[in-house]
Amino acid sequence: MPLVDDLEVWGDDARRALAPGEALLAITSVGVAYGARGGAEPDFWTTPAGRLADRVNRAVPEPKGWVGKALAGVGGVAFASPSVDLPSDFPESWIGGRTCFGPAGSSARQLEAVATGHSFFAVTAQRVVALVDVDDRMRVTWAMPRDAVVAARRRPRLLARGRFGLVFADGSWIVLGTFGSHVGSAHAKRVVAALTAGS
């Protein structure tokens, strides 16, 4: 049970922004989830530097015993760390993973551009929409037919349970996270359930 039920709190405002008679199935406040904002560029581990780091990691034998592991840890910090060429978004990609993939103009990139911390993501009987609340009035900033979303699933992390991912028909994808008083995963579950019902 969520602390705040967005469908109850924001439902009437959202319905006024939708087409007359359009059934609102789920709504939650969202932003792009914490992580590395991706584009069409490759992941670090598929780059030459990443493949080299992976080969070195496999070639070096696993240290034996607690003394060997302790020395390997100290040696790794003291000697290897400065020479590792990590991508600039390493902390974000390590903690939250990549959060968006697709070329400019793709469905995911369009949604990424409008999904700020003050946005709402809604599922209706016909569409998926992003809305913003401006001057106490909701307006639609992005919309796609529901069948443009070919897959939806929860993507929780340890401290971010309200994450969910959307895969679009054009091959692009995005991970959104619920915000505000949404500590748990109830809103993400509701959105995913609305998108996957009957599939």
Share of residues in the chain with pLDDT > 70 (%): 58
> CA-CA distance, 161 to 191, in Å (whole number)?
13
Confidence tier at 143 by pLDDT (50, 70, 90): very high
Judge if 147 and 174 occupy the same domain: yes
Tell me which residue has tokens 């670090």: 44
Q: CATH no. for residue 174?
A: 2.30.29.90
Residues 79 and 115 in one domain: no
Residues 14 and 74 in one domain: no
1 domain-assigned: no
Domain coverage including residue 125: 6-37+95-196
Q: Which residue has the higher pLDDT, 23 or 38?
A: 23
- 49 and 23 within one domain: no
Same domain, 111 and 156: yes
What is the share, in percent, of the chain residues with pLDDT greater than 90? Answer: 28
> What's the token pair of residue 175?
């991970």
165 within some domain: yes
What per-residue confidence (pLDDT) applies to 63?
Answer: 57
pLDDT confidence tier of residue 61, bands split at 50, 70 and 90: low
* pLDDT tens string 147-170: 999 999 887 666 667 788 899 999
pTM confidence score: 0.69
- Same domain for 76 and 161? no
Tell me, yes or no, whether 137 and 107 share the same domain: yes
Lowest average pLDDT, out of 27-41, 82-96, 167-181, 185-199, goes to: 82-96
Confidence at residue 41, expressed as pLDDT on a 0 to 100 scale: 46
pLDDT (average), residues 59-78: 52
Query: Are residues 110 and 191 located together in one domain of the fold?
Result: yes
- Say whether both 101 and 69 belong to one domain: no
Dump pLDDT digits (tens) for 82-122: 445 545 555 555 555 667 788 889 999 999 988 876 789 99
